[in-house]
A = this chain, B = another copy of it.
Amino acid sequence: MFEIIERDLAGRIGILETKHGKIETPAIAPVINPAKNILPPSSIIGIGFPLLMTNAYIIKRHYGDLATELGVHKILGVEKPVMTDSGAYQFMVYGKIEVTPEEILKFEKAIESDIGVILDLPTPPGISREEALRRVEETLKRAEKAVSEKPSEMLLVGPVQGGIYIDLVEYSARKLSTLDFDVYAVGGFTQLMEQYTFTSMVDAVVAAKRHLPPNKPLHLFGGGNPVMLPLAVALGVDLFDSASYALYAKDLRYMTSHGVLRFERLRELPCECPVCSKYTVEDLRDIPIEELERKIALHNLYVLSKEIKTIKQAIHEGWLWELLEEKASRQPALMDALLRLKKYLDYLERHHPITRQPVRGLNFASITSLWRPEIYRHLKRLYERYTPPENKTLLLLPETREKPYTRFGPIAYIYEAVKEMNYPYHLVVYSPIFGIVPIELSEVYPLSQYNASKLLANDPEKIAFENIKRYLKTFSNYYNGIFLVIDQELIKFPDEEISELKSEISLKVLSYSISSIRSKEQGIEFFEKISGLNVD
């Protein structure tokens, strides 16, 4: 029913089958007001959205019996997949609704919804833990009942509740995972996300994902700000619904991939969508307000569509992390969310692919690049699986620009010298990015396939130092001697840190201009210098 075809971080591209056709995920379902929508649903489908979201409760109240006669697809005038919400949102806003969970589920089936949500009890921020628990339990009861009467035609959505109470989210997800839903969902963060607070959503999605079946799609209710889409997808969200295109348009807010702008502050239309390439700002200022709202809504949909395509392309090529960094770099709230990911590196690493074809180099440009799962994975594996050769002398060398070290640049010449002269040395490179790289691993992806900014290479003492210490603590008993080579041109090493290292571990320190080694012969000279030291 749901097939995962590509992965990056904990994000994936998948295919979800419904009775009105396949949905490629990640996907956004634009929310359609069945009473009166700002744009005809068919024109939204025309942009390329593979499904729509509408509200069964509103349809029921608005169309009554006519709805079951027509079906939701005729009402919306589309023959593509339609997802229906159940009135839970209305319950949340108005405190009550006039329908039972059984009635609305029956109605969703009757109007031939492709994906139906059960009538859950949302847990928005602001409610007490007790109330949240009560709603979780009630939702679980309804979930059990709904699954026991599961329709064969309609995919059923099981909403995880708990909100900001992460233990309740985990409990809810664990319980729901035992029930055979086709799609799971997380909700309750719309208000927080509208206020540009994303960390609770991050916590809740990871908590839910850790307990839900990994091969089922996850829906995030109400995440429509384009800036947060890559983050949610990276965590494992597959489906979104959003009324943002219309709500923002009503407020004359114009989406861009750089953030949401106010129409009255536009001097340009920084977009090439079919709306914006046809008009200038001045043209749009002159049209009636309702028409302007419609045009902005249409533009906003094009931006959302483009954002989803960009995310898919990023997953395909493996640059979803870089897209996250791009979004976070100018949005403090997203940067805070990216900082939060540090807590979940283990989760991200477990889902992140080992390699991909064709191989693509990684870009380490920001401070946040240092917690990419590739780095976390390398160090994890090093300390879990690696064993150094025995009875050799450890030679710790600073990283050079040329990579892989085994083949290019000064370290390659040193390595050749070792091989030719049978020197009893084991070369291990310390790096501001990957920490510690034993020479024999240096060709393993992505240890040599990356570009790093000087921002990271300039202030690496701490990292290099920590990693050297950890490596020595773990493996020093394999070696019969330790040399730490320092080249201040390559990696700056404060004197205090050298003395601290010396006080903890027995090692010899050698300052040497590694960068000046430009031949195997100079590599051999380097070892002559070392063996001089050895005798001392």
A residues at B contact (CB < 8 Å): 256-258, 261, 265-274, 277, 302-303, 305-306, 309-310, 312-314, 316-317, 319, 322-323, 325-326, 328-336, 339, 358, 363-368, 451-455, 458
- In contact, B366 and A335 (Cβ under 8 angstroms): yes
Given A257-B257, A269-B309, A330-B363, 11 new contacts (CB under 8 A): A258-B314, A261-B317, A270-B312, A272-B302, A322-B329, A326-B326, A328-B329, A336-B453, A336-B454, A339-B453, A339-B455
- In contact, A326 and B258 (Cβ under 8 angstroms): yes
List the B residue with the shortest CB-CB distance to A13: B267
| Contacts A/B (CB < 8 Å), 16 sampled | A258-B314, A258-B319, A261-B317, A265-B317, A267-B316, A270-B309, A271-B272, A271-B306, A272-B303, A319-B330, A328-B453, A330-B363, A332-B363, A332-B365, A339-B454, A339-B455
**Shortest Cβ distance from A401 into chain B, in angstroms?**
12
Partner of A366, one of B265, B268, B303, B330: B330
- In contact, A329 and B329 (Cβ under 8 angstroms): yes
**Shortest Cβ distance from A329 into chain B, in angstroms?**
3
Partner of A325, one of B314, B330, B363, B364: B330
B residues near A265, Cβ cutoff 8 Å = 316-317, 358
Bound CA–CA A184/B303 (angstroms): 38
Partner of A365, one of B306, B310, B335: B335
The residue in A303, A332, A452 that gathers the most chain B C-beta atoms within 10 A of its C-beta is: A332
- In contact, B277 and A302 (Cβ under 8 angstroms): yes
The residue in A274, A303, A329 that gathers the most chain B C-beta atoms within 10 A of its C-beta is: A329
Bound CA–CA A322/B261 (angstroms): 14
- In contact, A268 and B453 (Cβ under 8 angstroms): no
Bound CA–CA A427/B121 (angstroms): 49
Bound CA–CA A154/B322 (angstroms): 46
- In contact, A268 and B329 (Cβ under 8 angstroms): no
B residues near A312, Cβ cutoff 8 Å = 267-268, 270
The 10 nearest A-B residue pairs measured at CB = A329-B329, A335-B453, A332-B453, A322-B330, A270-B310, A272-B273, A268-B309, A270-B309, A335-B365, A272-B302
Bound CA–CA A303/B326 (angstroms): 18
**Shortest Cβ distance from A230 into chain B, in angstroms?**
11
Bound CA–CA A268/B316 (angstroms): 9
Bound CA–CA A363/B332 (angstroms): 6
Bound CA–CA A273/B458 (angstroms): 40
- In contact, A329 and B277 (Cβ under 8 angstroms): no
Bound CA–CA A303/B306 (angstroms): 13
Bound CA–CA A271/B309 (angstroms): 8
B residues near A453, Cβ cutoff 8 Å = 328, 332-333, 335-336, 339
- In contact, B334 and A365 (Cβ under 8 angstroms): yes
**Shortest Cβ distance from A399 into chain B, in angstroms?**
15
B residues near A367, Cβ cutoff 8 Å = 366-367, 455
B residues near A313, Cβ cutoff 8 Å = 261, 266-268, 270
B residues near A335, Cβ cutoff 8 Å = 365-366, 453-455
B residues near A325, Cβ cutoff 8 Å = 329-330
- In contact, A451 and B332 (Cβ under 8 angstroms): yes
**Shortest Cβ distance from A257 into chain B, in angstroms?**
7
B residues near A270, Cβ cutoff 8 Å = 306, 309-310, 312-313
